[in-house]
Structure 1
């Protein structure tokens, strides 16, 4: 049993997971230190307030609020857990987007632009097709596929520039991000999808529930009553499993990884590296666009159409999600949920203490930096060596009796 644990610990994959867990733990500890430091610097925050902040950082998702005496209560919080899964849905998809591109040796920093294009396509399709003549579920499916297609086309642009012209994909992605922001702003500015019913929300696009198009709950509302969660999280998990199969069990996945390992060697082996680079970025874009579609087609969120001043954080947050998961599609599910949990913890800090949600941004920043140095953390992990070497448990070899010297006469004979 001990030898099996030693072998498991010494595996490269195990050490990568441990490095990610260490990064998360250090990030949470740093967040707790920040809470204490801020509390000590302000007279308005008591010792109990600091302790409440520390507890929320480590277990805020289980907080049920404050009781009549003003004390934090703990237990199963269906609303917070459901909202966490709802917010995890786009993070899982954008995390998969970054992970797929990385497998091909590409850094997809263009997920925010692909996310925006998926947002525009899915919302316009969902709100423009009348559900009186087309079933709502079919409109939803068309909107989701339209969001994926828009993201794929937008992701293929930096892929083509990289494959055909040798332009660095990071630079191309940055340009396409801001192009997308301006295109989406212009498209909604000239459209009729702006919410003009409420004067205070004239800059927002109608919810898809306005047209009767929204993601089915699939029973999630019964598990997490009062929350925003729907079947989108189940779709995201299914997509993650399909991406894992694509990358690890198919010929295309092998070719993508071969291009990522060594593009020139892959070409020498007969792999069309240019095609695979474009295809990889298109798949990455489709995943980011699909994440946007799942989020905005929920029917309970409104999109602010003046996006040219900023880019969606869900696109950028896919990077730490992929890094923490070591670009493993299955791992992305768990890291996406974890990042969404930190988002909920920020809401808890703002609502129940004198702190605000920006402390969770510090935690995320520390985790991102440490994830980038995961190889260094892996090297720092002690090697679990077997005592006595590989043959320590082997029985000692029997001593052989010395062979008697042969008589000189016998040799001559």
Structure 2
């Protein structure tokens, strides 16, 4: 049994999972310490309030409010779980977007811009095609594909300048992010998609449900009543599995990773490195586009376009999701859900205690920093294993070493020949 555990521990995948778990635990502990320090430093809060905050950080997903006596209550909360799955959908897809680029040696920091361009394309198609003459299912499919295509085209731009002009993709992505922000603001400012039906909503674009277009629920609304959940989470999981198959089981995936490992060696081996760089960024862009499309096609979310002189946080949040998952497409599903759980915990902190949700931002920031040092954590874990292996080897060598004054077989043979 010990040997099996040792072999399991020796695997790189096990070390990667352990390093991510260590990052998560340290992040949660840091958040708890901050809550405790704030509670102790503020007489109006006290230790009891700090204890409530710590419990919500770890179990906010299962919080059911406060009892008549004012104590926190916990249990199965279908609304929180459903909302967590809804919020996890775009995080999973933006995490996949960043992970695919990472696996091919590129850093897709352009997911926010790809997300924005997809938002504009998705909402335009979903709201302008008349649902009276075209089936809403067909409109939904066209809007979803349009969003993915817009994200892919916008993602291909940094890929092109990287492949043909050797311009760093990070710089190109930052530029395309801000170009996208201004283009989308200009587009909605001059369009007829702004909400004029409701007073004070002119800064918002209509929900897609105004045209009868929204993502099917697939029965999830009955499992999690009162939540925003829909079939988008199922689509995101399916896409994660497809990305895993693409990157791990196909020739194209091998070529993409080969270009990321060593572009010049890949070219020497006959792989079209320039094409694969552009294709990698296009795939990453399409996944970020899918994130925006599923979020706004839900039919219950509004796009507040006038704030987009800044960039959407969802695009950047894909980076910690991918880092925690060590760029594994299947693991991205779980890390996306974990980040969504922290969002729900932050809302519970705001609603049920005197603390605010920004504490969970500190937790996420800590986890991100530690995820960036995950290689160091893995080296420490590997070093511990190597130390044990060295001790075991030296012990075995000591047992087989001949006693002093006793010659081995070769010496005896040599003596006889002499």
Q: TM-score, normalised by structure 2?
A: 0.93
**Match in the other structure for 2:230:** 230
* C-alpha spacing 1:380/1:404, structure 2 compared with 1 (3 Å): closer
**Match in the other structure for 1:23:** 23
Q: Which moved more, 1:330-339 or 1:370-379?
A: 370-379
Whether contact under 8 Å (2:95, 2:332) holds in the other structure is: yes
Whether contact under 8 Å (1:62, 1:77) holds in the other structure is: yes
**Match in the other structure for 1:169:** 169
* C-alpha spacing 1:42/1:276, structure 2 compared with 1 (3 Å): same
Q: Which secondary structure state, in structure 1, belongs to the residue aligned with residue 56 of structure 2?
A: helix
Deviation for aligned residue 1:404: 11
Q: Map 1:240-259 onto structure 2 (within 5 A).
A: 240-259=240-259
Q: Which secondary structure state, in structure 2, belongs to the residue aligned with residue 199 of structure 1?
A: coil
- Counterpart CA distance in 2 for 1:217 and 1:198 is 26
* C-alpha spacing 1:250/1:391, structure 2 compared with 1 (3 Å): farther
**Match in the other structure for 1:134:** 134
- Counterpart CA distance in 2 for 1:21 and 1:240 is 21
- Counterpart CA distance in 1 for 2:38 and 2:270 is 59
**Match in the other structure for 2:190:** 190
Q: Structure 2, unaligned stretches of length 5 or more? A: 401-407
Q: Which secondary structure state, in structure 1, belongs to the residue aligned with residue 64 of structure 2?
A: strand
* C-alpha spacing 1:250/1:404, structure 2 compared with 1 (3 Å): closer
**Match in the other structure for 2:267:** 267
- Counterpart CA distance in 1 for 2:313 and 2:415 is 85
* Alignment: residue pair count: 407
**Match in the other structure for 1:411:** none
**Match in the other structure for 2:322:** 322
Whether contact under 8 Å (1:184, 1:307) holds in the other structure is: no
**Match in the other structure for 1:103:** 103
Which deviations, in whole Å up to 9, do the C-alpha atoms of 1:303-332 show, x marking residues without a partner? 011143211000000000000000000000
Which deviations, in whole Å up to 9, do the C-alpha atoms of 1:54-112 show, x marking residues without a partner? 11011111111111111100000000010000000000000000000111110000000
* C-alpha spacing 1:352/1:400, structure 2 compared with 1 (3 Å): same
**Match in the other structure for 2:347:** 347
- Counterpart CA distance in 1 for 2:17 and 2:260 is 21
Q: Structure 1, unaligned stretches of length 5 or more? A: 409-413
Q: Going by fraction, where is helix more abundant, 1 or 2? A: 2
Q: Map 1:193-212 onto structure 2 (within 5 A).
A: 193-212=193-212
- Counterpart CA distance in 1 for 2:320 and 2:414 is 72
**Match in the other structure for 1:383:** 384
Deviation for aligned residue 1:400: 7.8
User: What RMSD over aligned residues (CA atoms) do the two structures have, in Å?
Assistant: 2.0
* C-alpha spacing 1:75/1:403, structure 2 compared with 1 (3 Å): same
